[in-house]
Structures are given as C-alpha cells and as structure tokens.
Amino acid sequence: MNKLSIILPVLNEAALIGVALQALQAIRQRGGELVVVDGGSSDDTVQLATALADRVVVAGAGRAQQMNRGAELASGEMLLFLHLDSELPEGAMEFIEQLCGSTANHWGWFDVRLSHPGFAYRVIARFMNLRARLSRVCTGDQALFLSRPLFEQVGGFPELPLMEDVAMSKRLRQLSTPVVCKQPIIASTRRWEERGMLRTVLLMWKLRLLYFFGVSPERLVTLYYPE
C-alpha cells in the first residue's frame, strides 16, 4: 500500500489531544504518518502533540488552510483528514488499502456513528450517512480520504471559512465515484451537547440550505459563530 498520512487540524485541544493521538499510535507503528496542524492555539496543544506525531506545525487559522498545509508537509501518497475528536474504526488502513491503494483517483469517507448512545443521535447518524451516499458529499466528521494525485488535481481544499468539506466533495465527485467504508467512524457529539442537539441539527440544515442557494461561506460563518 502507498503510505497513509493522517492530517489532524486542531485548535485549543490540550484537554483531548494526548488521548486522541495515543489512539492513533498503532497506525503510526505500522508505517502511517500523523501530521498535526495547529491553527494558533493559546493552550498547550502544540507541546503535547510533539511527542505523539511525526510532524507538528502551526498554520494560519481556518480548517481549510490547516488541512492544505498538512497535505503539503505530509509524505504519504494517501491522505486522510481526521477531526481530533473522531475515532477511526479498526481496520481503517486495510479498507483504504483494499479500495484505494493501487488507484490514483480514488476518494471516499467513512459512515458515521455519533458518540452519544441516544436514539435521536442514532437517527441523525443514519440520515447523515444516507445524505452523504445520495449526494456524494461528505462532511468533515466522516474523515475524507483520497490519493495525493487527486488532491493535487483539484487544488486542495477551497480556503473557505465554512463548508470547505462540501465544496471539496463537489470538486471530487466530478472526477470519480467515491467509496464508502461501512465500518463507522465514531464522531464526538460534545459540541452538539454543548449547543443543544435540536438546535445544532436545525442550524446545520439551515446553513446547508443557504449554501445551496448561493449564500457565501463568509456570511454563513457569522451564523455558525455568532458574536
């Protein structure tokens, strides 16, 4: 298999980063690479990550910029973009190897399972997975992976303040059909619980609808992060 680089954009994650990177050491020991890209943390995120990753770098603020910088520094021919609070399923490397290891234009994502055990969260995850498969558009929670040649062909992530994952998927689906791993990634619901589950769902639907109708990401980010 071509070498896999996992790129993790982070910001002020000192409370979580040690445990999260420890969980990825098995992949690192098998030849995978961990690249942590900090967006300007004011806590000890960078210091805590240094011993547990192959590369740790500070980039400009904004997830798209961080992921593009990580891809630039990564040495792997396969790139996987992972949220720090998401947990890859066992066998993730094998899945990518089987479906993408010998082909330059493959890309895809993982089905998602939300960390909260409640029924409502299970329903939300089911709809997230269905929407992604029907639209061929994934979200950052689903851990987009793709080959480096394909990443370079589309010019990396559009450097938008929001919806960069949606815009990237739309670029990629014009070039090839995605593959989806049925073994789910476990995505944290910590921010859903902080904001309120129903409020978060309605906000995300609203943002996606506005984006579909042409509202700029610069405007959408003010709704997502109100002052």
Q: Convert the pLDDT of each residue in 37-81 to its tens digit.
A: 999 999 999 999 999 999 999 998 899 999 999 999 999 999 999
| Domain 4-112+138-185, CATH number (from 3.30.70.270, 3.90.550.10, 3.10.150.10, 3.90.230.10) | 3.90.550.10
Q: pLDDT by residue (tens digit) across 83-125?
A: 999 999 988 888 887 776 555 678 999 999 999 999 999 999 9
By residue count, the chain amounts to: 227
Q: In the chain, where are the structural domains located?
A: 4-112+138-185
Question: pLDDT > 70: what percent of the chain?
Answer: 95
pLDDT at 59: 93
> Which has the higher per-residue pLDDT, 191 or 75?
75
pLDDT at 102: 57
Q: pLDDT by residue (tens digit) across 192-224?
A: 777 777 787 777 788 778 877 777 877 877 777
172 CB contacts (<8 Å, ≥6 apart)?
Answer: 107, 146, 150, 154, 178
Closest CA relative to residue 109, chosen from 72, 74, 75, 83? 83
pLDDT at 101: 58
